[in-house]
Amino acid sequence: MIPQVPVPMAGLPHEVTIYEVGPRDGLQNESVVVDVTVKAQFIRRLIEAGLTTVELTSFVPARWVPQLADAEELLGILGPLAGRHPVLVPNERGLERALAAGAREIAIFASATESFAQRNLNRSLAASLEAFVPVARRAREAGVAVRGYISMCFGDPWEGAVPIAQVTAVAEGLAAMGCHEISLGDTIGVATPGQVVELLASLERAGLARGDLAVHFHDTYGQALANTLVALQEGVSTVDSSAGGLGGCPFARSATGNLATEDLVWQLHGLGVVTGVDLGALARTSLWMADQLGRASVSRTLNALAPSLARE
């Protein structure tokens, strides 16, 4: 691998938590159903590469996301894991399944827009938030941490630009439920850095601390790394990304892949930011998964490193 010479920049956190979404948000968007043993190997390899936070799967009905219909079987194969390993749940039934399978952290998925709430959750925005109140309460009563996602924070394919006040109101609702972390999703990848700064400022005025926020950028217009860097300069220190750039959104067809974890790690290591991730091990894992899927990765860093890794 080509060695990097870290050159720090002022205003960045010393350490960043990478919240890996590949096994859930990545694989749910694949046209093929990946065998559960391959999923388990993928997750173990990601953890061995140094990723301490890996979202494992989703306890949604199989008719919604057939690619993740094996959630219980997957958690049974994996057994107890060191680190933080949330699972997505859409409702109380999903929570019951997740708790029975041994999940210790869940994530709930809200929308910042009416259109996406209807398409993704079959409810209005207000009704979807209301439905998550008992889910979050029951999870916390069981000693299970709750993360909140907000999708369509910057743009919606049906509604266009999304008002910042609308996103802020949804974030306040999730915080009131007891979500310990709220991830701001640029689901269709239209955000630019100024919009990121503006949204974070609005959330801060509403009382949401930067340390309780995460960012989740898609790279549709090539802005994911730029938006991430600005978010870090603004005090955010948790970034969602996906190994090999896997993923999109099955309910928003204009959404392309997530920010690739390799691209994120390359940038952070070049800035002297600590991640705990072995980039070589991560790259080998993503190349292996791309081979399992029968297609090339979209990660530029991964593709740049692939020839040197092949010679090792």
Residues that are catalytic:
249
Query: What are the tokens at 245?
Result: 């750039």
Query: What are the tokens at 102?
Result: 């041994």
Residue with the two structure tokens 């802005």: 223
Type of residue found at 183: S
Element (DSSP H or E) covering residue 170: helix 164-177
Cα 13–16–18 angle (5° rounding)? 160
Q: Tell me the C-alpha distance between 208 and 201, whole Å.
A: 10
**Radius of gyration over every alpha carbon of the chain, rounded to an integer in angstroms:** 18
Alpha carbon separation from 312 to 173, 283, 291, 305 (Å, rounded)? 50, 13, 18, 11
Q: Tell me the C-alpha distance between 148 and 137, whole Å.
A: 13
Cα 101–107–109 angle (5° rounding)? 130
